[in-house]
Amino acid sequence: MMKSDNDVVITGVGIVTCQGVGKEPHVALLSAAEVGAPKVETERFAPYPVHPMPEIDWSAQIPKRGDQRQMENWQRLGVFSAGLALDDAGLKADAEACASMDMIVAAGGGERDIKVDSLIVDEALKRNDRELLLNEKLTTELRPTLFLAQLSNLVAGNISIVHKVTGSSRTFMGEEAAGITAVETAFHRIKAGQSTHSLVGGAFVAERADIILLVEGIRAHATGEWHPLWSRSEDNGGGMMMGSVGAFLVLESRSHAEARGAHIYAVIEAIEGDRGNRDEGKLEKRLSRLAAHAGDLSKADTVVFSGASGVHDITKREKSLLASQLDGAPIRGYGGITGHGMEAQFPLGLALAALTLDSGATVPTFDSENEKPMTAPAKHAVVTTVGYTRGEGLAVLSAA
């Protein structure tokens, strides 16, 4: 690929998963000879397993106790991961750069009132007029200020307060599609010369009974023991296994990054998101169009990081299409070892891809029975995320 001043490059990576805090444990994972079973919590929410947050010293990125106390875990995780990315990019102490930095965040809603949710579910088992029941309970049980105290854009607000990132700010909601759109928006703003540097990413906490209830409402959550992503089936209790994830990136134009002597992890060559009905082959049609962005890559030196959710039908359809469209390039289903990070899933895939390309890692298989080994370090990476109910995205990265 020819270099250009408005190339969009990754210069900072902030990442937290069940595998650990920061770049180091994730580079070690990506460079390991083999990957063992990941950390999974099977007792607290039995029969639903989740990938938990690692031990985190919040004070390392959120020094004021008062700031920590007024946030929930999903906000703390986002603010913490954003701080890691700023530190990694060498911009944390640069007040001028932070003041002019754009910020685009993918976030879900705040934690729900579990007692009210449980009351509605219990009462619904006894009545058939459930629409009436729902209205009754929402008007009598729900505190009017509950959601106002937990707005999604509080993550961006707290990043501004704690890390002094005070340029333009956008927040997207909408599960996986929010993470795709956040990165896509940052990419195109930099590419068009409307922005020089941007902080982008998301955070998701899986250890929440309300989230598990939401997913299990469509019978999509895994039960029982952990199984590798592509090996999950209805027979072994497979499905989506969520993970607590924080993933933020600092994106810059090449000219801005090189002018300040920044380390460049990777170049984002292309990115696109889409959504729509998936019936009658429409998912395959959209994914084929997205995969065309990788059409000129040599598959011999390309690795695919698939953000597949683990939901049986959609995951099977995605893997089949990737295998055919990308001509046998090795695929790594990263959600199998980190858990599925909803809004943070796509930024997480980009972070893993950037670390892989930068470190020259030969990524071990995450599912030894269904993934083929890499024979040499990759020079290119394709990152996908196919939402568990809607939203698809794909990005193409090259080594710096």
Q: What is the DSSP string of 123-145?
A: HHTT-S-HHHHHHHHHHHTS-TT
Give the separation between CA 59 and CA 67, rounded to whole angstroms. Answer: 10
Contacts of 236 (CB under 8 A, 6+ apart): 224, 225, 227
Q: Which stretches of 258-386 are assigned E, i.e. beta strand?
A: 266-274, 302-306, 331-333, 380-386
In three-state secondary structure terms, 274 is strand
68, containing H or E segment? helix 65-69
> pLDDT tens digit string along 141-167?
776 555 544 578 889 999 999 999 999
Residue 144 pairs in a beta bridge with: none
Write out residues in the chain with pLDDT < 50, as ranges: 148-149
In three-state secondary structure terms, 322 is helix
**Burial level of 124, CB count in 10 A (0-12/13-18/19+)?**
middle
pLDDT of residue 144: 57
Pairing of strands 169-172, 102-106: parallel
> pLDDT tens digit string along 72-81?
899 999 999 9
In three-state secondary structure terms, 247 is strand
Q: Which stretches of 205-328 are assigned E, i.e. beta strand?
A: 245-253, 266-274, 302-306
Long-range contacts of 371-379 (CB under 8 A, 24+ apart): 371/230, 371/330, 371/331, 371/332, 371/333, 372/328, 372/330, 373/330, 374/303, 374/330, 376/301, 377/301, 378/301, 378/302, 378/303, 379/298, 379/301, 379/302
Nearest to 340 by CA among 307, 312, 365, 318: 307
Q: Which stretches of 255-370 are assigned E, i.e. beta strand?
A: 266-274, 302-306, 331-333
Contacts of 219 (CB under 8 A, 6+ apart): 239
Give the separation between CA 15 and CA 12, rounded to whole angstroms. Answer: 10
pLDDT of residue 79: 97
pLDDT of residue 1: 60
pLDDT of residue 111: 64
